[in-house]
Amino acid sequence: MRTRLVQGVVEGDRLLFIAAAVLSLVSLVALRSATATLQPALAARQALWVGVGIVACLLVTSVPYTRWLNGSLVLYIGVVILLVVVQLAGTVKLGATRWITVFGLSVQPSELAKLACACIVARSVALQPHPLSMRTLVVSASLVALPAFLVFVQPDLGTSSIIGVIWLGMVWVAGISRKHLTILATIMLCSLPIGWHFLKDYQRTRLLVFLNPHVDPLGAGYTIIQSQIAIGSGGLFGRGWMAGTQNQLNFLPERHADFLFSVVGEEWGFLGSVTVVVAFSLFLWRAVSIAMRNSDLQGRMLAMGLTSWIAYQALVNMGMVMGLVPVVGVPLPLVSYGGSAMVAAWIVVGLLQSIYRFGTRF
């Protein structure tokens, strides 16, 4: 087993692994500062989750991705059951029911839902005739709609939108026609007023505050204002590790989770922020290359779905903390605190490496 794990690292895409490792290292260093006056033990927990994630990555890498896809239906059904359990007996944190407690650990099934949706769509759509028919699109959309809805009502608008983006990236690679794409875009635009009606009051406020955070500077706009101050005060080289005033004086809420990139901007400055962006760019470049070089449609779709997940989530999080997009509560992959999110992100790395190792190339 040890030989197979080592072989997975040697034969895999090294740049992809290095980029992921750099981002996780950034997470540990930044989190040590972000939790110094909050809860220092969180940094040690994050290190544990990074270790678990890397082990999971190596295990997934050592097995052909087709075997994981063969079990996609079981994974999908299991995830749907877990999401239902969350609604019935989940743990409430910060006004949302997104976690279940297993042997004393808080697990977030919505992270597994992203993996399940990517696998089930790759498995089902790749077996259909191409170009994709409307029936195939509707069936695949229905498969992701169920877990996306269960996540949405937790409520978790950010993660449900990520599931939608995963599906869109995969059917794009599979060959969606312009006609069907136009129909899809029309349906989405017409659904916006309906979606607005189903949003929680605080979610609507977040979207409105995005246009002008100073409308409610001590309420919904407070976090984004403090985040912009933190990033702006970092300058070129930053204030220094554990020397950021917004961070150390507790002005910045949720700085260990969704707003950890703000801590990087304040303490490491523009150069530190650019380092994170470059690491993500390297990661996504290698991920897209893995997808495009694979002649097996299942592998190509899976790789692009996973790439869409990481790319969208990273762009939304970094844009969110800078006030460029509305605050929707999504973590920065491989960086923000969270056991379920960290392990899921490293499993994504493992699946991409498996596709690189065992996929057939053009």
End-to-end alpha carbon distance in the chain: 30
SS3 98: strand
Q: Are the C-beta atoms of residues 27 and 50 closer than 8 Å to each other?
A: yes
Domain membership of residue 93 as a residue range: 2-358
Mean pLDDT of all residues in 22-51: 91
Average pLDDT over residues 79-108: 80
Least confident of 15-24, 133-142, 320-329: 320-329
The pTM of this model reads: 0.90
Give me the mean pLDDT over the 194-223 stretch: 65
- Which of 89-123 are b and which e, b meaning 16 or more Cβ less than 10 Å from the residue's Cβ? ebeeeeeebbbbeeeeeebbbbbbbbbbbbbbbbb
The amino acid present at 327, given as its one-letter code, is V
Q: Kindly tell me if the per-residue pLDDT of 22 is higher than 90.
A: yes
Q: Which of 51-65, 81-95, 258-272, 278-292 is predicted least confidently? A: 81-95
Q: Which residues of 263-287 are buried (b: 16+ CB within 10 A; e: fewer)?
A: bbbbbbbeebbebbeebbebbbebb
For the record, the structure tokens of 342 come out as: 């960290």
Query: Mean of the pLDDT values across residues 149-160?
Result: 87
- Looking up tokens 């923000």 gives 336
Residue with more model confidence, 204 or 223? 223
Percent of the chain with pLDDT over 90: 48
Contacts of 5-10 with CB under 8 Å at 24 or more apart are 5/58, 5/59, 5/61, 5/62, 7/62, 8/58, 8/61, 8/62, 8/353, 8/357, 9/58, 9/61
Q: Which two tokens stand for residue 91?
A: 């743990």
Structure confidence at residue 197 as a pLDDT band (50, 70, 90):
low
**The pLDDT of residue 315 is above 90:** yes
In the chain, the amino acid numbered 98 is: R
The total number of structural domains that make up the chain: 1
Rounded to the nearest 5°, which phi and psi values hold at 296? -80, 120
pLDDT over 60 at 192, yes or no: yes
